[in-house]
Amino acid sequence: MKKTAAVMASVIALTSLATAIPVGATSYEMKTLPKSMTIKVNGVKRITLKSKVSVYDYNYGKYITKYKNVKATFKSNKPSVASVSSDGIVRAHKIGKAKLSVKYNGEKKYINVKVSKKKTIYIAHRGAEDIAPECTLVALQKAVDVGYSQMECDVWVDKSGDFIVFHDSNMERLTGKNMHIEQLTETLRKKLPIIGGNNTSYYPTQYIPKAKDVLKLVNKNPGIILTMHLKTTLDANQAAKLAKMIKKYGVEDRIVLLSEKVNNLHLYKGYGFKRAYLCRWRNEAHLLRVVDWAIKNKINIIYYKYYSDFLPPSSFILKAHENNIAINCFSLNKVSQYEQMTELGINGVICNKILFTYDPLLNPAFVPPTEPPTEAPTKAPTEPPTEAPTETPTASSTVPVTEPVQEPSETATA
């Protein structure tokens, strides 16, 4: 009998909270709304109304206050500037101002929306690889010279235990040496010039750089952000060594550690670096699970592999943005692709080519020398072949997409 009375009292309390509002007063729900908001072009925000509910707690024998979202009616006076859906999702379309009306339980309130300019960030893939040999110091510096604010490079641990910057797992394409990059020694590194990639004849003395030299370059260029794609599966000691190196050059606030290997991201959980996960398309449900995992593990950025036929769904982008997770896309070759990603609200795109206009007089990214260039070597030094390490295949790539995924798979490469 007491339980029934308590339930009735709870219902009465809930009803009174929702309806007993003096004339001319503002309800609690409407007070939770912002007076104004600023969104960048192609940005997305959600408007939520929260209701205060009094519920009887049998464990404590008293009423407690809980909060829940309630439904309202939304409308924009300028949907071409900022539109709003029936469930309160605001999308910014072009620079300007709009006013959103919110109706709830007979009340009406307005929210002023200002839409400002948004620029999807260009990120230089392996440095300015269309100007100079990829992942070399000169390619990374040329990316800065031409006007990129962010760049990306790939990081491995070689046989000597050093962190080196190189894209491929096999060295043959860029050095002529058929050998796995993790078998490279310091002695051999100094003997192997880069002979593959763009404009190698103009840059004949480029070698596989050490990560510490790349960090020095970042240190000398204030404001430049570097994404380090960790391709070796690290252990705790290696992770600590790289962290110490990054901090030594004072660039820890300008480094993003990217990996498709979940273990690598877990190792850096307590270091304070921005962490990014690299994923590919499976289906929408999988991408939403990736966001859930990123939220749980405090991942800052999700890198999405670009496919023209499988664009990232808006639900994936919205969920990530609502939880302060950026979505970056790799890797693009056309201005039309960049514009497509901008329309979707993608935060940054990794570019294989320079997709923006720059002044070559102000930013002399590539100026051919006046003298004939020294011819680059065409053959690598001959040494006994070294077997590439055997890599353990991951089972995640064979898991049916209908099965629940505990953690994101580790199949993507960039």
Q: What is the DSSP string of 364-404?
A: ------SSPPPPPP-SPPP----PPPPPPPPSGGGS-TTS-
Q: β-strand 301-305 against 326-332: which pairing, if any? A: parallel
One-letter amino acid of 337: Q
Taking Cα atoms as reference points, which of 238, 284, 288 lies closest to residue 261?
238
CA separation for the pair 80, 77 (Å, rounded): 9
Structure token pair of residue 298: 């405090």
User: What pLDDT, on a 0 to 100 scale, did the predictor assign at position 42?
Assistant: 66
CA separation for the pair 200, 133 (Å, rounded): 6
CA separation for the pair 359, 327 (Å, rounded): 29
User: What pLDDT, on a 0 to 100 scale, did the predictor assign at position 26?
Assistant: 63
Distances from the Cα of 143 to the Cα of 24, 121, 405, angstroms: 60, 13, 38
User: Would you kindly state where each structural domain of the chain is located, as residue ranges?
Assistant: 29-116, 121-398
User: What pLDDT, on a 0 to 100 scale, did the predictor assign at position 8?
Assistant: 44
Structure token pair of residue 329: 């896309």
Can you name the residues that pair with 57 across neighbouring β-strands? 62
Fold of the domain spanning 121-398: TIM Barrel (3.20.20)
User: What pLDDT, on a 0 to 100 scale, did the predictor assign at position 64?
Assistant: 80
pTM of this prediction?
A: 0.69
Averages of pLDDT over each 10 residues, the chain, 414 residues: 45 41 59 85 77 78 79 91 85 88 89 84 94 95 89 97 97 97 96 94 93 96 94 97 97 97 96 94 91 97 88 91 93 89 90 76 47 44 41 36 42 52
User: What pLDDT, on a 0 to 100 scale, did the predictor assign at position 140?
Assistant: 96
User: What pLDDT, on a 0 to 100 scale, did the predictor assign at position 413?
Assistant: 52
User: What pLDDT, on a 0 to 100 scale, did the predictor assign at position 370?
Assistant: 43
Structure token pair of residue 410: 């580790």
pLDDT in tens, 259-293: 999 999 999 999 999 999 999 888 899 999 999 99
Out of 3.40.640.10, 3.40.109.10, 2.60.40.1080, 3.90.1150.10, the CATH code matching 29-116 is 2.60.40.1080
